[in-house]
């Protein structure tokens, strides 16, 4: 079985049915949106059929406008079409984090080169939304509520170990998010000893929202840490 088929099978099997804290809803694009499983399957079969070894990059959890739509971490529908030649007809989404990630991927050498070396996933491969005071659903992170993090930890442990079963390199893992996501992964890794080291990288959303003028410098930092 190719890496692509392992990833597709993993995505299709993702499910979480336990109660969450009040006002928080789990977001499972592979169950909620048939196009997400379809187009993400095309994506993985395009880039993940070769036996080249990959390292894991872990974001936080899927967002509403990126993986929440396409099923592909840090990939909105705009970048999916522009960089990967795939699309969801009649649907357009733009995610700030995706803009940075694909600028970085372009600097790395393009999707073919980048995805030959890396698999982007998330600490929690399912996302969350919370209803705000205006009655609107907004993105929510697994670590934003201590009870949510506690509830999700067994699921996170299981799904990380399932992905390591794909045959990924484990000498190092990259963590997108140098604060809470990194500290949480570091604690889990100290217990489980999955990776030789976890290398933190500033989260793309933080860069685009608060350090936009320094974007090229951050891309250079990413490349210096990612390239062998």
pLDDT digits (tens, 9 = 90+) for 117-169: 999 999 999 999 998 888 888 999 999 999 999 999 999 999 999 999 999 99
- Of all residues in the chain, the percent with pLDDT exceeding 90 is 91
pLDDT in tens, 42-92: 999 999 999 999 999 999 999 988 999 999 999 999 999 999 999 998 888
HSE-up of residue 64 (Cα within 13 Å, Cβ side): 10
Predicted confidence band at 5 (pLDDT cuts at 50, 70, 90)? very high
Inter-helix orientation angle 96-108/77-84, to 10°: 20
Phi first, then psi: what are they for 63, rounded to 5°?
Answer: -105, 160
- Of all residues in the chain, the percent with pLDDT exceeding 70 is 100
Per-residue pLDDT at 136: 86
Q: Starting from the edge strand earliest in sequence, which strands make up the sheet with 118-122, in order?
A: 118-122, 55-59, 169-176, 198-201
Give the start-to-end residue ranges of the domains of the chain: 3-167
HSE-up of residue 81 (Cα within 13 Å, Cβ side): 10
CATH homologous superfamily of 3-167: Uracil-DNA glycosylase-like domain (3.40.470.10)
Per-residue pLDDT at 97: 96
DSSP designation for 92? -
228 pLDDT more than 90: no
Contact 6, 166 (CB under 8 A): yes
Per-residue pLDDT at 133: 81
pTM over 0.85: yes
């Amino acid at each position: 079985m190719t890496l692509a088929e392992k990833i597709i099978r993993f995505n299709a099997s993702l499910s979480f049915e336990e109660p969450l804290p009040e006002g928080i809803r789990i977001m499972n694009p592979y169950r909620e949106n048939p196009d997400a499983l379809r187009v993400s399957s095309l994506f993985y079969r395009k880039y993940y059929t070769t036996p080249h070894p990959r390292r894991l990059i872990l974001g936080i959890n899927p967002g509403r406008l990126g993986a929440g739509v396409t099923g592909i971490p840090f990939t909105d529908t705009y970048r999916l079409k522009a960089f990967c030649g795939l699309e969801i007809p009649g649907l357009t989404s733009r995610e700030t984090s995706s803009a940075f990630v694909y600028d970085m991927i372009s600097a790395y050498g393009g999707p073919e080169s980048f995805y030959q070396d890396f698999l982007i996933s998330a600490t929690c491969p399912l996302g969350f939304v919370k209803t705000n005071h205006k009655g609107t659903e907004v993105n929510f992170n697994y670590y934003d509520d201590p009870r949510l993090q506690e509830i999700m930890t067994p699921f996170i442990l299981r799904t990380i170990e399932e992905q390591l079963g794909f045959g990924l390199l484990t000498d190092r893992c990259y963590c997108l998010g140098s604060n809470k996501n990194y500290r949480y992964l570091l604690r889990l890794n100290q217990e489980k000893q999955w990776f030789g080291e976890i290398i933190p990288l500033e989260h793309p959303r933080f860069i685009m929202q608060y350090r936009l003028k320094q974007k090229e410098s951050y891309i250079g930092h990413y490349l210096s840490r990612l390239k062998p």
